Amino acid sequence: MGRRALTMLGLAVAVLAQASGPPITAGTRSERLQEPSSGLLRSWQVVTPAFGPLRTQTLRYLDATADGSAWIVLPLRKIIRINALGHVTHDIEGLPSPSWSLRAISMVSPTDGWVVGTEGTFAHWDGVRWKEHRSFVHSKDRVDLEAITMVGPNDGWACMRNVPRDTPVPSTLMRWNGTLWYFYETHQMGCQAISMPSATDGWLLGSSGNLLHFDGIAWTEVRSPTTEGLRDIDMIDASDGWAVGGSTALHYDGLAWREAPVPGLAIALGVDFVSPTHGWVLTHKGTLRFDNGTWTSVPLPLDTREGEDDPYYTYDIEMLGVDDGWIVGTMGQVFRYGRGAGCYPITPKHLCPLLLPSLGGAL
């Protein structure tokens, strides 16, 4: 074992001795919120070297579950799950064409989740395997599902990037009722992202900064202060949320969306807030952390090289708590923040469940 490995192992043992705090539990954002702790590794750490096959993959879509696992969409028909005990790759059963591409993922729990993709693809995780789920959308309809968010096991939303004029698909919005995915209303707005803080309130992000609001019954377009193409939206609750894209950040205060100054913001790709006072914005090369009204740049240990041909970028972020999160990007790059960062890639596996109770479950 080299000097660097011994140093990191010593740090991991030190963290164990300091008792890193209570495990993450499923529930509301307030239940997930944990105040920053000086005993945690307060930096982004590289996970990828432990999982060599990922090095050639472009990783764009990510979700995480309360046991600390990251669920990452691989190109074509695979999902990889990573936690402190290792990783496992799942093939999705039933997809008839290798050309189908997965576009988004939303996990209800470690035993329940969904992915969507091109040509109307839906696939469901039942705790044992991923399997195609048939819906009213067919490959011949030539529509691509762009985003999905699950409110619970019996309620969720999926939306499409666009609907061709000559297709019989009546809406870009679909809803899950626990039994089937069905078309909801007759909206034709293309979708970039969707966020549902509850079953009766939510927001959809369209192209050119367009916004739709759901009041529990209907979706209605709401005035947006920008025409810039926004990439992601995250609602903390019905009266507080953020949307980002390019060099623009919008904040919702319960009354209206307004542009919000974020120092250093450029090429924003993702946003995730765990409370009104704590959140993150992902840019193509780093992260910006929000703490009680103050933005701080938190760098990523990107495997970069100088020049215009630099292929290293980030794409998606998912935070489980103030000091607990994941990021994925190009060239198979996976990053872990705070809880669990010290378990990668050299900490002995038998130490990780002791260091991090929230990550101690079996794969």
pLDDT score for 185: 80
**pLDDT score of 308:** 44
Residue 169's contacts (CB-CB under 8 Å, 6 or more residues apart) are: 137, 141, 143, 160, 163, 183
Contact 177, 155 (CB under 8 A): yes
Whether residue 225 contacts residue 259, with contact meaning beta carbons closer than 8 Å, is answered with yes
pTM (predicted TM-score): 0.81
What pLDDT was estimated at residue 53?
63
For residues 58 and 55, what is the distance between their CA atoms, to the nearest angstrom?
8
Which pLDDT belongs to residue 64?
96
Q: Give the angle 181-185-191 at the CA atoms, nearest 5°.
A: 75
Count Cβ atoms within 10 A of the Cβ of residue 296 and give its class: 0-12 exposed, 13-18 middle, 19 or more buried. Answer: exposed
Three-state SS for 302-348 is CCCCCCCCCCCCEEEEEEEECCEEEEEEHHHCEEEEECCHHHCCCCC
Nearest CA to 319 out of 70, 108, 85 is that of 70
Q: What is the DSSP string of 119-145?
A: GGEEEEE-SS-EEE---S--GGG---E
Helix (H) or strand (E) holding 352: helix 352-355
Looking at residue 195, what is its pLDDT?
98
**DSSP summary character for residue 208:** G
Q: How far apart are CA 105 and CA 63, in angstroms?
A: 6
pLDDT at residue 78, as a whole number = 85
Residue with tokens 């794969």: 363
pLDDT for the residue numbered 91? 84
Among 362, 349, 358, smallest CA distance to 9 is for 349
What pLDDT, on a 0 to 100 scale, did the predictor assign at position 311?
61
Distance CA 47, CA 329 (A): 12
Question: Which residue has 């019954």 as its token pair?
Answer: 217
Contacts of 204 (CB under 8 A, 6+ apart): 159, 173, 189, 191, 193, 194, 211, 212, 213, 214, 219, 233
The ranges of the chain with pLDDT < 50 are: 1-41, 305-308, 345-363
Half-sphere exposure of residue 159, counting CA atoms within 13 Å on the CB side? 24
For residue 231, give the nearest of 309, 284, 273, 175 by alpha carbon.
284
Residue 22: DSSP 8-state: P
The one-letter code for the residue type at 160 is: M
- Only one residue has tokens 């307004």, namely 258
Give the span between the Cα atoms of 322 and 34, in whole angstroms.
6
- Residue 21, pLDDT score: 33
CA 230 from centre of chain: 16
Q: pLDDT digits over 88-145, tens only?
A: 888 888 765 555 688 899 999 999 999 998 888 899 999 999 998 887 665 555 678 8
CATH numbers and ranges of domains, the chain = 3-87+195-359 (2.130.10)
Q: What is the pLDDT of residue 85?
A: 73
Determine how many CB atoms are found less than 10 A away from the CB of residue 66: 19
Task: Please spell the DSSP secondary structure of 249-303, one letter per residue.
Answer: EEEE-SS-EEE---TT--SEEEEEEEETTEEEEEESSEEEEEETTEEEEEE----
